[in-house]
Amino acid sequence: MARFDVYQIRSTGELAVDVQADLLQHLKTRVVVPLVEGPEGDWPMPRLTPKITFDGRSRTFGTPFIIGVPIRELAGPVGSVADQEYPIALALDLLSIGV
């Protein structure tokens, strides 16, 4: 499992990005942020919820919905968004330290 890999959540079928540091591979959980599609992804704070392109489609990085899940809940990886690390890191920084 690598940071910024995209997984499908087994229980919901939704896609989520692994944002947990690779250093913590030994844990049985991963911290993920869902990729939200459609009008549910229209948020007034684009830095907190940037648009991410995955599988040829624009999706919203749903930072406010960050969650820890057991590894067994993750199917994949089905891809990666490592090439979009900068807006993801900005969103996580804004969430955790407010800058």
| Domain edges within the chain | 5-97
pLDDT score at 3: 95
4 band by pLDDT with thresholds 50, 70 and 90: very high
pTM over the 0.85 mark: yes
Q: Give the mean pLDDT of 90-98.
A: 95
pLDDT score of 38: 77
Give me the architecture of the 5-97 domain, per CATH. Answer: Roll (2.30)
Q: Phi first, then psi: what are they for 27, rounded to 5°?
A: -70, 155
The pLDDT tens digits of the residues spanning 65-80 come to 999 999 999 999 999 9
Query: For residue 41, what pLDDT band results from cuts at 50, 70 and 90?
Result: low
